[in-house]
């Protein structure tokens, strides 16, 4: 059976980075990263949107000029009227494909072709089929899915483009309240954007000092960095079309090149793990979800 070559997608920055850091990150991605598609936009907290509003057009133009396919991302949790208006504005634009972060954006598109992000709970083939019938043309499956579920979903819809969350802290939950602000003695309404003090997430340990989770504003992410670098062949065989890399405070250009080299067969998995450790030395890597194990486990093939 002939399989398509795995593509690479760079997901949106989930954390609050200041304007210059955010812009320069994407400019470097445009010029140097080995990715095919880049998702741009605020998915976590609408209060952050103004930090990048003045440079978003320049970032999109730079990425497109470099030959990258660009998607715009929508919020993962919509609770306010201004957030609903923002979703409607994104749904009405036709210049770029929209990646929906939750189902109100999916409904607002009214059958227009779009992508579905990993924060939408697509855990079975029936859900993927419903979304596909309503206009979805690409779905990034949640990181919690084991390999056998991924294969079942992908093989049920061969015409759909499926991505798998393949690198980064796993997005686990999102809330209307901000634990990050509460931890620092503030509220969401008066948060003073303290999440910007932790551009790679705020670590949370258990009572006995073991790494547990990380806070990112209203979002909770894993303490470990999910990485499927040793499972790319199996994912391709399962029917996956692309691997998603989620930006962290590390050398994401190097990460993209490592994944590309393994995909192309010029680097083996053993050397790739070593190089990932050099690119992101602060990370503890894991891939347990993919192997039907607790998510923080690392299973080496």
Q: Is position 94 within any domain?
A: yes
Q: Is position 247 within any domain?
A: yes
Q: To the nearest whole percent, how much of the chain has pLDDT over 70?
A: 99
Tell me the per-residue pLDDT of 208-248, one tens digit each, with 9 for 90 and over.
999 999 999 999 999 999 999 999 999 999 999 999 999 99
Question: Cα torsion at 12, 16, 18, 21 (round to 10°)?
Answer: -40
Which residues, in sequence order, are CB contacts of 121 under 8 Å at separation 6+?
127, 142
Which residues, in sequence order, are CB contacts of 277 under 8 Å at separation 6+?
283, 285
E strand or H helix that includes residue 161: strand 161-174
**What pLDDT is recorded for position 2?**
47
Q: Is position 209 within any domain?
A: no
pLDDT tens by residue, the chain, 301 residues? 445 789 999 999 999 999 999 999 999 999 999 999 999 999 999 999 999 999 999 999 999 999 999 999 999 999 999 999 989 999 999 999 999 999 989 999 988 999 999 999 999 999 999 999 999 999 999 999 999 999 999 999 999 999 999 999 999 999 989 999 999 999 999 999 999 999 999 999 999 999 999 999 999 999 999 999 999 999 999 999 999 999 999 999 999 999 999 999 999 999 999 999 999 999 999 999 999 999 999 999 7
Contact 36, 7 (CB under 8 A): yes
Counting Cβ atoms within 10 Å, is residue 69 exposed (0-12), middle (13-18) or buried (19+)? middle
If we measure between CA atoms, which residue out of 190, 42, 60 comes closest to residue 105? 42
Determine the 3-state secondary structure of 190 from DSSP.
coil
Q: Checking DSSP bridges between strand 202-205 and strand 211-216, what pairing results, if any? A: antiparallel
Residue 124 sits in a domain whose CATH number is 3.20.20.70
- The Cα 189–Cα 159 span in angstroms is 44
| pTM of the shown model | 0.95
Contact 23, 31 (CB under 8 A): no
- The Cα 61–Cα 161 span in angstroms is 24
Contact 6, 231 (CB under 8 A): no
Give the bridge partners for 204, in sequence order: 213
Contact 153, 124 (CB under 8 A): yes
State the Rg of the chain over Cα: 18
Ligand-binding annotation for 191, yes or no, is yes
Q: How many domains does the chain have?
A: 1
Rounded to 5 degrees, φ, ψ at 63 are -65, -45
Q: Is position 84 within any domain?
A: yes
Contact 195, 16 (CB under 8 A): yes
**What pLDDT is recorded for position 148?**
97
- In order of 30, 179, 218, the CA distances from 171 in angstroms are 25, 15, 11
Which residue range is the domain that position 49 belongs to?
Answer: 7-170+225-281
Q: Is position 134 within any domain?
A: yes
Ligand-binding annotation for 45, yes or no, is yes
**What pLDDT is recorded for position 110?**
85
Q: Is position 271 within any domain?
A: yes
Ligand-binding annotation for 154, yes or no, is no
What one-character DSSP code corresponds to residue 51? G
Tell me the per-residue pLDDT of 162-178, one tens digit each, with 9 for 90 and over.
999 999 999 999 998 99
Q: Is position 128 within any domain?
A: yes
Q: Is position 14 within any domain?
A: yes
């Amino acid at each position: 059976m002939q399989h398509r070559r795995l593509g690479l997608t760079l997901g949106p920055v989930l954390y609050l980075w200041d304007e210059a850091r955010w812009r320069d990150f994407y400019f470097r991605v445009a010029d140097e990263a080995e990715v095919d598609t880049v998702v741009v936009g605020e998915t976590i907290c609408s209060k952050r949107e103004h930090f990048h509003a003045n440079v978003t057009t320049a970032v999109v133009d730079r990425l497109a000029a470099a030959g990258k396919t660009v998607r715009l991302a929508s919020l993962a949790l919509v609770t306010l009227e201004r957030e609903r208006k923002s979703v409607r504005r994104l749904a009405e634009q036709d210049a770029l494909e929209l990646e929906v972060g939750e189902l109100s954006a999916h409904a607002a598109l009214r059958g227009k072709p779009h992508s579905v992000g990993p924060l939408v709970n697509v855990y079975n083939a029936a859900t993927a089929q419903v979304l596909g019938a309503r206009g979805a043309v690409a779905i990034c499956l949640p990181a919690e899915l084991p390999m056998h579920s991924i294969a079942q979903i992908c093989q049920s819809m061969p015409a759909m483009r499926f991505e798998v969350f393949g690198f980064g802290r796993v997005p686990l939950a999102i809330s209307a309240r901000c634990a990050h602000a509460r931890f620092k003695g503030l509220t969401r309404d008066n948060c003073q954007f303290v999440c910007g003090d932790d551009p790679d997430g705020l670590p949370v340990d258990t009572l006995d000092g073991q790494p547990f989770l990380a806070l990112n504003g209203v979002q909770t992410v894993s303490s470990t960095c999910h990485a499927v670098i040793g499972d790319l062949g199996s994912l391709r065989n399962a029917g996956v079309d692309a691997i998603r890399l989620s930006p962290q405070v590390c050398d994401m250009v190097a990460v993209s090149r490592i994944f590309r080299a393994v995909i192309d067969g010029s680097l083996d998995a053993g050397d790739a793990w070593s190089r990932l450790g050099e690119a992101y030395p602060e990370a503890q890597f894991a891939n347990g979800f993919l192997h039907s194990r607790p998510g923080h486990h690392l299973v080496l093939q």
